[in-house]
Chain A
Amino acid sequence: GQQVMQIPQYQHVQEGEDFTTYCNSSTTLSNIQWYKQRPGGHPVFLIQLVKSGEVKKQKRLTFQFGEAKKNSSLHITATQTTDVGTYFCAGWGGAQKLVFGQGTRLTINP
């Protein structure tokens, strides 16, 4: 079945440093979604990318969807302590199932 791999599993940065997480799918995706889960919380939708090569920005967050629609990345510029959490990518597989990557857990040293 479809698999979505995400790296790195963990990332620790100093506040103010940049952060990037990468997502790769075993199959071509119709779209890709990104979610953020704060410690002790539940996943919350951030953004959806649909078009090949699409780039979207949300303040300090930049999301990219690869040309082949099999990979994606999330880049955070100048991290802040509010960015702490686990970031998940997810792609729709067959039969109404959203397949999640394993997540990248971001911790920040203030």
Chain B
Amino acid sequence: NAGVTQTPKFQVLKTGQSMTLQCAQDMNHNSMYWYRQDPGMGLRLIYYSASEGTTDKGEVPNGYNVSRLNKREFSLRLESAAPSQTSVYFCASTAARGIQYFGAGTRLSVL
């Protein structure tokens, strides 16, 4: 059982470049989430999708866009990367009991 799969695991971008972080879950969960975690910091919610076809802003949505492609997949796009977006990005999905299952993360550096 793969759980939550994120790609890529590592990425280095130059300021102004764009990229999409991919996330897929195979647990048939309705809700999916994108968080960022800066060094030594907690988890900050970027965007979430409570169900297929819906997306909502979290705490820090500026500079990001998301797409809930289908029930399994939830992608995060950086249109014009900035050094302030250097972080570790986690995707998560939620089971019926509300337990969140996290992917292994994408470590992004923006130079």
Measured between alpha carbons, how far is A100 from B98 in the docked complex, in Å? 13
If A42-B104, A98-B100 touch, does A88 touch B50 (CB 8 Å cutoff)? Answer: no
Q: Are A100 and B42 in contact (CB under 8 A)?
A: yes
Give the interface segment out of A14-22, A59-67, A68-76, A89-97.
Answer: A89-97
Contact A42 B105 (CB under 8 A): yes
Residues of chain B lying within 8 A (CB to CB) of residue A103: 41-43
Pick the residue among A42, A88, A98, A100 that contacts B103 (CB under 8 A).
A42
By a CB distance below 8 angstroms, the chain A residues around B31 are: 96
Q: Which residues of A contact B101 (CB under 8 A)?
A: 45
Check B34 for interface membership: any CB of A closer than 8 A.
Answer: no
Q: How far is the CB of A29 from chain B (nearest CB, A)?
A: 11
A10 closest partner in B (C-beta): B40
Contacting residue for A102 out of B42, B45, B100, B104, CB 8 A:
B42
A105:B40 contact, CB within 8 angstroms:
yes
User: Are B42's CB and A95's CB within 8 A?
Assistant: no
How many Å from the CB of B99 to the closest CB on chain A?
5
- Note all chain A residues with C-beta closer than 8 A to B56: 95
| Beta-carbon contacts under 8 Å, B32-81 to A | 33, 40-43, 45, 48, 50, 56, 58
Whether B45 contacts A42 by the Cβ 8 Å rule is: no
Known contacts A45-B100, A88-B43, A96-B31; 20 additional CB pairs below 8 A are A33-B99, A33-B100, A41-B104, A42-B90, A42-B104, A43-B43, A43-B90, A44-B102, A45-B101, A48-B97, A48-B99, A88-B42, A90-B100, A96-B48, A96-B50, A97-B48, A97-B58, A102-B41, A103-B41, A103-B42
The 6 A-B residue pairs with the shortest CB-CB distance, nearest first, are A102-B42, A96-B50, A42-B102, A100-B43, A103-B42, A45-B99
Q: Footprint of A on B, CB under 8 Å?
A: 31, 33, 40-43, 45, 48, 50, 56, 58, 90, 94, 97-105
B-binding residues in A (CB < 8 A) = 31, 33, 35, 41-45, 48, 88, 90, 92, 95-98, 100-103, 105
